[in-house]
Structure 1
Amino acid sequence: MKSGRSLSELAHELERQMLTKQDLVLPSSLLQCRTNERGRLNLVVESGNQARIGVSEYDVTSLARRQLADKLKIPFAYFERMREGQPGLLDHNVNTWLQTEGSRWMVRTLDDEVRAVLSDRYRRLDNFDLAEHVLPILQRLEGARFESVELTETKMYLKVITARVTFEVAPGDIVQAGVVVSNSEVGCGTLSVQPLIYRLVCSNGLIASDHALRKTHVGRALASSEEPITVFRDDTLAADDRAFFLKVRDVVEAAVSEATFRQIAMKLQKTRDISLAGDPVKTVEVLANRYLFNDTERAGVLRHLIAEGDLSGYGLVNAVTHYSQDVDDYDRATEFEALGGKLIELAPTEWKGLAQAM
């Protein structure tokens, strides 16, 4: 499992972000795009009352640029081509559509940057609130240890293992139960709670999609006030998700229960009986094409499969989850852990296509 930051570092950064992040709910017509000759794009809030929002001009992250292009129905490749080669044309196109869009948006900012451009129906289930409610629940798990926690540009992850519940997949090959809680504040996924299996021999993590709890960030449109711009700071958000966070507690406890864990661990164990009778290179190639690996990822999974010398379905699952530790990007590494969970759910016919690839 890929390591992240310490729990205290996570808490410090969440507290820092709580003090600086800000949400603006406003009509698109109050936004203006300004791009300089070097391709640096800023969004400007065109309002006479800057005292309320503090900053009128924001840098824009790559993700927010993609979301802005999507909302204005401008193909992102063309959006970026204009930004890099014809910034004046980009400003003209974007500003024309901003004036005619006629929608209210939520613009999420952090450190004087626009980090997300979302619908005004986006429901804020924020990382600080989630951590405040969930960390005590996780800490109360018997034998709990925070194996990996991280806060990326798009998501927060809390990965916790408990030594209380174990399973022997093979002689001397022990796995432990765990749970992963993840959330995105910028529209890159749901708030989710999923079971996690941790393999002691190689520190692999496998995320199971079964028995998961997911909460989408969609709610009712935020009521507009008399002011054209509605400003929300993190410390003024209404605590209207308490019932949901109570439900999280129940799902966390279920995820690390003996029954749930054994069910998932036995699915993993059954992959030992699947022989990769075909060409291992072709097997990984089929897997890579199905799950969109790049060349580096394909080579990395194949390297682990050959190095570990287990040409079985179990060996392939472990090659995928072990490779996650080599991936620089934490979000992508977690996707490989989740892919391990998808593999143990494959139907026999799907495994046949992988195992007999020639």
Structure 2
Amino acid sequence: MTIASPFPPLTLRNATLDDLVEVLRAQHARKIDVIVPAHRLHATGAHLELLGTEPLVTEDGVTATAGLYLPTTPCDQDIATKLGIPTPYLRRTRTEHPRLYDANVNGWLETDPRRRFMFRGLAGNGHIGIARALLSNSYKVIDNLDVLMAALAGIKETGAAVQIDGADLTERRMYLRVACEQIQAYAPELVAGYRSPFSGLAGADCPVVFAGFLLANSETGDGAFTITPRLTLQVCRNGMTINRDVLREVHLGGRMDEGVVRWSQDTLAKSMALITARARDAVRTFLDVDYVRAKVGELSEQAGVKVAEPEKTIEHVATRLSFTKEQQQLILQHFYQGGAITAGGVMHAVTSAAQVLDDAEKAYEMESRGIDAMRLAASF
């Protein structure tokens, strides 16, 4: 869903760290968290309205929380899930029959008027606000900006020389790709016969893999805070995420009573200290040459398996991994451009295709399946 100004952007793709921080700070300044009972929620004109909720008082002033908010696509999904309304149906009513949208939402809210939710939004400051999420009142808030600052602090404490390989922000998640070119391993088997579809460089001329990891967080209930090891190919900057070694922190806490959520500095400090510690752990574990060599060895075992029937193999991989027909065709195109007619070539095709997707969520999902794609191709 596209949200017009005067709001800060809700999405970024392949952004710099500075761009990400600027947008997160702008969002943070408008953040509203309210524990609201169902009888103070109302749908009107396919918007959510908070009725009679108390204002948010901070050092910067007083911000009204009551008023109209336009739900994002993920928030509509939250509403549908929480109220037991089929999501495709609710989305259709938004575009085709807003009165039916209101009737469905209000009707189900009225069945349990004392049920409590956590409402996460951005204040309108004189305009209609943005409803970002409708969550359980036991949801533990770990905001993107806080996570980012704590993780960067943990990385800095280790003294590791890292590079930010890019950042994405969606209505659901934040992603930060971290690489450390000083920690690398020789991986000729992994890139044998491969040529970058972006630069034309041959894998034989750049047979190196860099250490790194992917930091991800959702502040709207779409997944835990995670740090996942990620190897980067020198030849094309394709990323290979090692999902089995992920570090995770789930957003669950105690149930909260009605009202504006005011997190104590002690609570926030404890949460951020844990994030900082996890980032230090990730650096020490994943930015380690022995770790990288071990993973390269594991991946190289199947990378060289020949692919006899590329189109059938990629169709099989796409079906098993639930890729769309369009994604399947893009992967096949990158496979032939890459030139490695092997299971490793399938992995490279998946991860390079992910780089050109405009949708950061789809790109993340595709890249995260790269190793699975190789294993499926090798066993086909």
Alignment TM class, shorter chain as reference? 0.7 to 0.9
The 3-state SS of whatever aligns with 1:84 is helix
Give the superposed CA RMSD: 2.3
Query: Aligned letter for 1:60?
Result: P
- Do residues 122 (structure 1) and 139 (structure 2) align? yes
Checking the alignment, whether the CA contact within 8 Å between 2:343 and 2:378 is kept in structure 1 is: no
Q: Which whole-Å deviations, capped at 9, do the CAs of 1:53-96 have from their partners, x for residues lacking one?
A: 51411111111011101111011122223333333233222112
2:314 and 2:328 in contact (8 A); partners too: yes
Q: What residue ranges of structure 2 are gaps of 5+ in the alignment? A: 1-11, 58-62, 124-128, 189-203
Partner of 1:310: 340
After superposition, the C-alpha distances for 1:205-252 in whole angstroms (9 at most, x for unaligned) are 111113210111112112x2xxx4234489997333144222331123
Return closer, same or farther for 1:21/1:236 CA change in 2, 3 Å cut-off. farther
**CA deviation map 1:101-159 (0-9, x unaligned):** 33210010025200111001111111111111111333455331111122222111111
Structure 1 residues 141, 290: CA separation in 2 closer, same or farther (over 3 Å shift)?
farther
44, 53, 64: which is aligned to 2:49?
44
Contact persistence 1:213–1:248 (CA under 8 A): no
Change (3 A) 1:272 1:189: same
Cα drift, residue 336 of structure 1: 1.9
The equivalent of 1:178 in structure 2 is 212
Choose which of 229, 239, 252 in structure 1 pairs with 2:283. 252
**Given residue 118 of structure 2, which amino acid in structure 1 is its aligned partner?**
M
Q: SS at the partner of 1:159? A: strand
* Letter in structure 1 aligned against 2:36: L
Aligned equivalents of 2:52, 2:28: Cα separation in 1 = 25
Identity %: 28
Conserved 8 A contact 2:20-2:167: yes
| Structure 2 equivalent of residue 63 of structure 1 | 74
Query: Is 1:214 paired with 2:248?
Result: yes
User: Counterparts of 1:292 and 1:51 in 2: how far apart (Å)?
Assistant: 43
Q: 1:31 to 1:235 in 2, by over 3 A?
A: farther
Q: Distance in 2 between matches of 1:135 and 1:28?
A: 39
Tell me if the contact between 1:23 and 1:233 (Cα under 8 Å) persists in the aligned partners: no
Pairing 1:98–2:122 present: no
1:331 to 2:365 alignment: no
Counterparts of 1:93-242 in structure 2, within 5 Å, are 93-101=104-112, 102-111=114-123, 112-139=129-156, 140-170=158-188, 171-172=204-205, 173-222=207-256, 224=257, 228-232=258-262, 238-242=268-272
Aligned equivalent of 1:78, options 59, 74, 89? 89
Distance, in Å, in 2 between the alignment partners of 1:183 and 1:312 is 34
- Counterpart of 1:6 in structure 2 is 16
2:321 to 291, 296, 319: 291
- In 2, Cα distance between the equivalents of 1:161 and 1:299? 29
Instruction: Name the CA distance, whole Å, in 2 between partners of 1:144 and 1:29.
Output: 50
Which residue is 1:280 aligned to? 310
**How far apart in 2 are the matches of 1:19 and 1:299?**
42
Offset from partner CA, 1:172-219 (integer Å, 9 cap, x none): 411111111110111111100111111011111111113210111112
Q: Which moved more, 1:94-103 or 1:79-88?
A: 79-88
Structure 1 residues 120 and 250 mapped into 2: Cα distance closer, same or farther (>3 Å)? same
Range with greater deviation from structure 2 (87-96 or 68-77) = 87-96
CA contact (8 A) 1:18 1:235 kept: no
Q: Which amino acid aligns with 2:49?
A: V
CA contact (8 A) 2:163 2:179 kept: yes
